[in-house]
Amino acid sequence: MMEERICLITGANSGIGKETAKVLAKMNVTVVMLCRNKERGEEARKEIIEQTGNKRVDLLLCDLSSQNAIRKAVSEFKNKYQNLHILINNAGVMLKKRKLSVEGYEMNFAAHLLAPFLLTNLLLDTLKKSAPSRIINVASAAHKRAKMDFDDLQSENKKYSLFRVYGVSKLAEILFTYELSRRLEGTKVTANTLHPGVVNTNLSRDHSKYSQWFAKKFFKSPEEGAETSIYLASSPEVEGITGKYFINKEPRQSSEESYNEEYAKRLWKICAEMTGLNVQ
């Protein structure tokens, strides 16, 4: 029953994350929103409660670009909740210029790989205890043109290109998802990833006025973009299905490189070192 389930969603105060939180709250799921900004997070939380009538919508503050902040948020979550049935790593960035996280890592890499890696691994004990449970990583079809360059994971050597760096970070996120699914075999915890479509969200907030207009006119709405996340979080049809990439609620092939197990294992080891986790 969905009303007995607890879901944690990152980046849940706007766009796809907010719509996902809203629909799951309508299903009477306990929704925990992990957001960076207190004011925007609280505003979204109140709106979701008003629109759904579900008062079990909680807000935890966390800047996902800070590993210390992630550890603190996980500690807060575990002090408050005994179970976790659905984890949706939804938060993302799309920066025109190269920027570094608190720990000094390139921000796309930090937000789309290191943050989900750390958050997920710190919550795995709770997810396993609550099984059957689901991990959902919101990736992008932008990964299809990307190639992993292990000598330049921080985008220091080549001229910074938004779409190249974003695509590589999303490829890395899919590699992580597949490796995670292999490591979770037999636990009744599934890990899947998805492309939400080209969606008009506030990821483009620091882009040109024309880019923002174009996105609003021609891209999917956040409601449409959230459909596959909601499906993977709630549908009985995907119970037990793991290690898949979904588009429009259907499993699809991701890029050939995303299935490279050697790359996935290498990336896992790098992430473990960068986050200080003993999960080799």
Q: Is residue 133 part of a domain?
A: yes
Residues identified as active-site? 166
Domain span holding position 202:
2-275
CA distance 98 to 153: 13
pLDDT value for 198: 73
At 1-54, the pLDDT tens digits run 687 999 999 999 999 999 999 999 999 999 999 999 999 999 999 999 999 999
CA distance 41 to 58: 10
At 128-139, the pLDDT tens digits run 999 999 999 999
Q: Is residue 47 part of a domain?
A: yes
Confidence bin at 199 (pLDDT 50/70/90)? low
SS3 category, 28: coil
pLDDT value for 280: 73
Task: Take residue 255 and report the two structure tokens written for it.
Answer: 């890029």
At 211-248, the pLDDT tens digits run 443 344 335 687 889 999 999 999 999 999 999 999 99
Percentage of residues in the chain having pLDDT higher than 70: 92
At 147-194, the pLDDT tens digits run 999 999 999 988 899 899 999 999 999 999 999 999 999 999 999 999
At 39-49, the pLDDT tens digits run 999 999 999 99
Task: Take residue 40 and report the two structure tokens written for it.
Answer: 């925007």
Helices marked H in the chain = 15-26, 38-52, 67-80, 107-109, 115-129, 162-183, 209-218, 222-225, 227-234, 261-275
SS3 category, 97: coil
Q: What is the mean pLDDT of the chain?
A: 92
Task: Take residue 128 and report the two structure tokens written for it.
Answer: 């396993």
pLDDT value for 202: 53
CA distance 62 to 81: 17
Q: Is residue 280 part of a domain?
A: no
Q: Is residue 113 part of a domain?
A: yes
Instruction: CATH number of the domain at 35, please.
Output: 3.40.50.720
- How many separate domains does the chain show? 1
CA distance 66 to 244: 29
What angle, rounded to 10 degrees, do the helices at 261-275 and 115-129 form?
A: 90
At 251-266, the pLDDT tens digits run 999 999 999 999 999 9
CA distance 16 to 124: 24
